[in-house]
């Protein structure tokens, strides 16, 4: 079942810039290469996967803009988490065979028909798990799981406040919070996002388009006889962080996840001292180098939760490779609710939705 072809389609970032213009436009930093070489197996333990679906994360967008902490040399194939089917294996591969359904996170390269990864970086997608959902899971749910379960050690009855709660990482944090038995407060903008969050059993949703965060959360806490927030999950930063700090309990944990607002917040050390706060900077991807077992255990647990229906991956937009600019537009214009996906397999019939 090895690929008899030697060339594939892949999205190439050839210069830095905003990838929201049509990829056929000369202004586009990305192009669809139709005759890119299919990557060869690079070691006896490497595995080639035919990509089924790959996820768009805010970081992928920032990387093409040249604003992400990791700046690969040009040209590069963007992409990080993906799912697919094993197409070829190196001679020493023991855990996978051709035809297995897998998912993984690569440093780069998943916006293509094929990708090569080492077997240690692949996970088997369990029976009953949708392959598209498995491709959306690693970065978003992985980040929130490591942050909430491993770092903050979120406990039953604690109050969790999630900012950017309808975005990729936010929506996963909300669901993991519920699985952990926390009282979950979600902050998002607009009726559609609020409706989805409520349908997930979130205890209180603040609609930023309507009200003030502090006022709304304080009212809810009072009604439930709760003192304040124990864990703040923050992928947004800026003014919203500053306001949220006013809601934190003594001994609270702050999870610094990202800066979707474009503004890095200042967390005053004097207040952290007086209030005994713990500030966790969390860069999920770096666990692959420093604590790979934490990442692997976390993803295995998430895949099992997914197959049991404890968590659900919400995909608001699906595109094909040549519609990648629309996928980046959905992220840029804050239209994504949950995940935006690129479905790579030609047979998938992916349709634009914006």
Q: In whole angstroms, how close is the CB of 15 to ligand NAP at the nearest point?
A: 21
Please give the Cα distance from 79 to 226 (Å, whole number). 42
Q: Which is nearer to ligand NAP, 164 or 265 (CB)?
A: 164
Nearer to ligand NAP, 70 or 222 (CB): 70
Give least dist CB 149 to ligand NAP, A: 15
Distance CA 310, CA 303 (A): 10
How far is C-alpha 346 from the geometric centre of its chain's CA atoms? 24
Residue nearest to ligand NAP (CB): 167
Beta 229-234 vs 204-207: how paired, if at all?
A: unpaired
* DSSP-derived 3-state class of residue 196: helix
Q: How far is the CB of 197 from ligand NAP (least distance, A)?
A: 10
Contact 179, 311 (CB under 8 A): yes
Q: Which is nearer to ligand NAP, 109 or 167 (CB)?
A: 167
Q: How far is the CB of 24 from ligand NAP (least distance, A)?
A: 25
Residue 263 or 301 having the CB closest to ligand NAP = 263
**To the nearest whole angstrom, how small is the minimum distance from the Cβ of residue 160 to ligand NAP?**
16
Closer to ligand NAP at the Cβ: 109 or 142?
A: 142
Q: Which residues bind ligand NAP (CB under 6 A)?
A: 57-59, 139, 143, 164, 166-170, 188-189, 193, 208, 235-236, 257-262, 282-285, 331, 334, 336
Dihedral pair phi/psi, residue 177, rounded to 5°: -60, -40
Residue recorded with tokens 């299919």:
38
Q: Using an 8 Å Cβ cutoff, are 1 and 87 in contact?
A: yes
Q: Which is nearer to ligand NAP, 29 or 168 (CB)?
A: 168
Rank residues 250 and 283 by Cβ distance to ligand NAP and give the closer one: 283
Complex with ligand NAP: residue 86 or 245, whichever CB lies closer: 245
Nearest to 85 by CA among 114, 64, 118: 114
- Least Cβ distance, residue 283 to ligand NAP (angstroms): 5
Give Cα separations from 40 to 35, 77, 79, 321, 348 (angstroms): 15, 15, 18, 21, 25
Cβ closest to ligand NAP, residue 17 vs residue 285 = 285
CA dist., res. 323 & res. 275, Å (int): 48
Beta carbons within 8 Å of 280's beta carbon, 6+ residues apart: 147, 151, 152, 253, 254, 255, 256
The answer to whether the beta carbons of residues 167 and 234 sit under 8 Å apart is no
Minimum separation from the CB atom of position 118 to ligand NAP (A):
21
Give min distance, CB of 33 to ligand NAP, in A.
Answer: 25
DSSP character at residue 147 = I
- Give the helix ranges, DSSP H, for the chain: 58-65, 131-145, 168-179, 191-199, 213-223, 238-245, 269-274, 287-290, 292-308, 324-332
At its nearest, how many Å lie between ligand NAP and the CB of residue 332? Answer: 7
Kindly state the tokens that stand for 147: 């942050």
Closest to ligand NAP by CB, 159 or 282: 282
**Smallest distance, Å, CB 139 to ligand NAP?**
5
Strand partners, 204: 185
């Amino acid at each position: 079942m090895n690929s008899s072809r030697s060339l594939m389609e892949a999205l190439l970032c050839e210069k830095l810039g905003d990838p929201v213009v049509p990829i056929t436009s000369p202004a586009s930093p990305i192009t669809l290469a139709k005759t890119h070489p299919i990557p060869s197996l690079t070691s006896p333990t490497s595995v080639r996967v035919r990509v089924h679906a790959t996820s768009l994360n805010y970081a992928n967008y920032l990387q093409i803009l040249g604003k992400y902490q990791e700046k690969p040399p040009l040209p590069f194939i963007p992409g990080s988490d993906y799912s697919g089917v094993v197409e070829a294996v190196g001679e020493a591969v023991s855990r996978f065979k051709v035809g297995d359904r897998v998912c993984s996170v690569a440093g780069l390269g998943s916006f293509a028909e094929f990708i090569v990864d080492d077997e240690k970086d692949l996970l088997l997608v369990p029976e009953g798990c949708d392959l598209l959902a498995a491709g959306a899971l690693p970065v978003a749910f992985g980040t929130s799981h490591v942050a909430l379960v491993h770092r903050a050690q979120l406990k039953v009855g604690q109050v969790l406040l999630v900012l950017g709660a309808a975005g990729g990482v936010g929506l996963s944090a909300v669901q993991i919070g519920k699985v952990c038995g926390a009282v979950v407060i979600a902050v998002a903008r607009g009726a559609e996002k609020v409706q989805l969050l409520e349908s997930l059993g979130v205890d209180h949703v603040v609609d930023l388009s309507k009200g003030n965060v502090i006022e709304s959360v304080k009212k809810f806490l009072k009604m439930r006889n709760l003192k304040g927030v124990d864990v703040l999950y923050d992928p947004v930063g800026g003014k919203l962080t500053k306001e949220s700090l006013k809601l934190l309990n003594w001994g609270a944990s702050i999870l610094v996840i990202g800066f979707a607002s474009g503004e890095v917040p200042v967390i005053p050390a004097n207040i952290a001292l007086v209030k005994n706060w713990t500030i966790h900077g969390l860069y999920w991807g770096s666990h692959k180098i420093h604590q790979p077992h934490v990442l692997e255990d976390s993803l295995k647990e998430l895949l099992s939760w997914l197959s049991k229906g404890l968590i659900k991956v919400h995909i608001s937009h699906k595109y094909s490779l040549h519609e990648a600019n629309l996928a980046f537009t959905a992220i840029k214009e804050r239209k994504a609710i949950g995940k935006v996906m690129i479905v790579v397999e030609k047979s998938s019939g992916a349709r634009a939705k914006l």
